[in-house]
Amino acid sequence: MAASKIDGKWFREIDDAWKGYSISLEIEEVLYHEKSDFQDILVFKSTTFGNVLVLDGVYQCTERDEFSYQEMIAHLPLNSHPNPTKVLVVGGGDGGVVREVLKYPSVEQVVLCEIDQKVIDVSKKYLPDMASCLSDPRVLVHVGDGVKYMEENTQSFDVIITDAPDPIGAAKGLYTKDYYEGLKRALKPKGIISCQGETLWFDLDFIKKILTYCKGVFPVVAYASGYTPTYAGGHMGFFLCSNDSSINLKEPIRNYSNKELDDMSMKYYSPHVHRACFNVLPYFARKALTEVLDT
Amino acid sequence: MAASKIDGKWFREIDDAWKGYSISLEIEEVLYHEKSDFQDILVFKSTTFGNVLVLDGVYQCTERDEFSYQEMIAHLPLNSHPNPTKVLVVGGGDGGVVREVLKYPSVEQVVLCEIDQKVIDVSKKYLPDMASCLSDPRVLVHVGDGVKYMEENTQSFDVIITDAPDPIGAAKGLYTKDYYEGLKRALKPKGIISCQGETLWFDLDFIKKILTYCKGVFPVVAYASGYTPTYAGGHMGFFLCSNDSSINLKEPIRNYSNKELDDMSMKYYSPHVHRACFNVLPYFARKALTEVLDT
């Protein structure tokens, strides 16, 4: 775990994954700080980013910029699928991804598999814009280990979103080839997966490793980029794969108008962003990932 | 100026422009720290980002990620121009932008107008990969105020790049309508300007103000986005304008191959990035800028 700490009026995120670099947020008030069975959970009210959820010393989301991550990890796969009806979200106990999934009228059921009940509880209390959707009748919350869930699961899904923290501690198993094979088994035809994909500035070798797993398992593999200022480096990537080679992940199926985007309360995602986010990868990163990316 | 400070082994960038948010870099050694006639200049060797130049408490560049900014602000306009021969760079005494401009064989002269001789001097000493190009025979260094230069200038240029710090202190005059009118006067037919364009997360109102100036002065206006982890929010935008309505800023003229990009020592910019970087703007920002952007 990190040496991240509360330093006077600031929370500093310090982690070996981005050694020598740290993003701090100013604290107005610490709202919650406990160790659960799985991790250190901190929630504080910041002076300018709203409430902030920190797991094992690493930012998970802030009220001010969480939409950037939640919308990208959800709408890239959902708007590449012709008719998503059943969706699985692994991790994401804060509810932000589920909130986005429920924006698709075709979705009949969302299963959320979160390992840590405490994350769900504190999110309901301190991040209500994200977690309140968890009481929607279409949502089935399963508290348990995502890796085990995928091993034992017998259901199949149109879209599976892995909203995992960084590959340390509790989330390590969500970044293995076995896990990706489990995802493939759990997909319906025309199925799409989307997974948290780390940052190009600090994790390029790791990104390449995961994309290599993906390439070994899925016929269609892509890597998208988003901007999130409170994630180290300001960049957040997404691994996207489909088990159907006719699926084009890079072209949105529904070409939402501004009116439709507004009606869906969209703040980050748009068809413009969807088409561009695969191509904006800096050349050094594109080159490093050439062998494992569909370009 | 900022309350940024050296805090134990870390430099913390604190500024009212991104209140409550701060990026820190770990210091290995402070190499230079003096007040010039214009600003506070700090250079330190960081543990993981190479040497770092800080002006008035704000990161200007680090050796590890400077290429992202320099390549974008230079190649977006240069690779939208059919035959750039004469280029002006305002600011940018570190030499990074000039280095990129010199990659175009058609360029016969680059004028660099930098207000602060000290910035040139410390860059030559501590950022040699950027500043060594300043002794190239095609480069004419003019030490003086960029605003005054534009008022008195009688030359004309194919491309003008304003590599300005944030609009505080010395650089304030580089973000006025008068300055943009001066840029237009100094452009040859088919001329293109490119200016540092702040970050969408913290400066959206300011970006809109500048784009409104641009729109009042130029027939073609666009806003591009890049990733730079040591700039607040991890995002850096670019204002791009042309005085010729037939110029398409969003389509690169030279469709460089990987081999050509490698020969030019490119690390960030590519034709893929050029085409995508205008469309990757998050929806909330695109909406805010709708009235002033050519979409």
Find, in chain A, the residue whose alpha carbon is nearest to that of B9.
A20
Q: Which two tokens stand for residue A126?
A: 């301190």
| Contact at CB, A281 and B261, closer than 8 angstroms | no
CA distance A39 to A62: 18
In chain B, what residues touch A231 (CB-CB under 8 Å)? 234
Residue identified by tokens 């989307």 is A194
CA distance A213 to A292: 9
pLDDT of residue B9: 94
What value does the mean pLDDT take over residues A275-282? Answer: 97
Strands of the sheet containing B139-143, edge to edge, are B139-143, B109-114, B86-91, B157-163, B187-196, B235-242, B220-227
Nearest to B233 among A24, A229, A268 (CB): A229
**Which of helix, strand or coil describes residue A149?**
helix
| Contact at CB, B233 and A227, closer than 8 angstroms | yes
pLDDT of residue B7: 83
Given A116, A158, A163, A203, which residue is catalytic?
A163
Nearest to B270 among A199, A258, A283 (CB): A283
Distance from CA of B275 to the nearest CA of A (A): 8
| Contact at CB, A267 and B282, closer than 8 angstroms | yes
| Contact at CB, B280 and A234, closer than 8 angstroms | no
| Contact at CB, B279 and A266, closer than 8 angstroms | no
| Contact at CB, A276 and B279, closer than 8 angstroms | yes
**Which of helix, strand or coil describes residue B156?**
coil
For chain A, what is the mean pLDDT?
95
pLDDT confidence band for A273 (50 / 70 / 90): very high
| Contact at CB, A280 and B272, closer than 8 angstroms | yes
Candidates A9, A21, A46, partner chain B, best to mutate (most B CBs within 10 A)? A21
Domains of chain A (ranges; CATH) run: 5-62 (2.30.140.10), 66-289 (3.40.50.150)
Find, in chain A, the residue whose alpha carbon is nearest to that of B7.
A7
pLDDT of residue B2: 46
Distance from CA of A188 to the nearest CA of B (A): 30
- Helix (H) or strand (E) holding A271, with range, is helix A271-276
B208 CB neighbour count, 10 Å cutoff: 17
pLDDT in tens, A194-230: 999 999 999 999 999 999 999 999 999 999 999 999 9
What value does the mean pLDDT take over residues A50-76? Answer: 97
Query: What's the predicted TM-score (pTM) here?
Result: 0.96
Q: What are the distances in angstroms from CA B47 to CA A20, A111, B10?
A: 6, 44, 10
- Compute the CA torsion angle A71, A88, A279, B222 (nearest 10 deg): -10
| Contact at CB, A201 and B258, closer than 8 angstroms | no
pLDDT in tens, A128-158: 999 999 999 999 999 999 999 999 999 999 9
Nearest to A235 among B48, B227, B282 (CB): B227
Cβ atoms of A123 and A95 within 8 Å: the answer is yes
Nearest to B227 among A10, A269, A282 (CB): A282
B49 phi, psi to nearest 5 deg: -120, 15
Q: Which two tokens stand for residue A107?
A: 């979705």
| Contact at CB, A20 and B19, closer than 8 angstroms | no
Distance from CA of B233 to the nearest CA of A (A): 4
pLDDT in tens, B10-31: 999 999 999 999 999 999 999 9
| Contact at CB, A227 and B225, closer than 8 angstroms | yes
Distance from CA of A223 to the nearest CA of B (A): 14
pLDDT of residue B160: 98
pLDDT of residue B165: 81
| Contact at CB, A281 and B273, closer than 8 angstroms | yes
Candidates B280, B281, B287, B295, partner chain A, best to mutate (most A CBs within 10 A)? B280
pLDDT of residue B217: 95
Active site amino acids of B: 163
In chain A, what residues touch B236 (CB-CB under 8 Å)? none
Distance from CA of A91 to the nearest CA of B (A): 25
pLDDT of residue A235: 96
Q: Which two tokens stand for residue A33?
A: 């700080």
Nearest to B267 among A272, A275, A283 (CB): A283
In chain B, what residues touch A268 (CB-CB under 8 Å)? 282-284
Ranges of chain B whose pLDDT falls below 50: 1-2
Instruction: Give the percent of chain A with pLDDT over 90.
Output: 91
Burial track A37-60 (b if 16+ CB lie within 10 A, e otherwise): ebbbbbbbebeebbbbbbbbbbbb
Strands of the sheet containing A235-242, edge to edge, are A139-143, A109-114, A86-91, A157-163, A187-196, A235-242, A220-227
CB–CB contacts below 8 A, A to B:
156
Distance from CA of B78 to the nearest CA of A (A): 17
Cβ atoms of B88 and B161 within 8 Å: the answer is yes
Nearest by Cα to A237 from A196, A193, A291:
A196
Find, in chain B, the residue whose alpha carbon is nearest to that of A266.
B283
Q: Which two tokens stand for residue A199?
A: 């940052």
What value does the mean pLDDT take over residues A257-266? Answer: 98
Least confident of A82-96, A159-173, B30-44: A159-173
In chain B, what residues touch A269 (CB-CB under 8 Å)? 283
**CA A265 to the chain's CA centroid:** 19
In chain B, what residues touch A235 (CB-CB under 8 Å)? 227, 229, 234
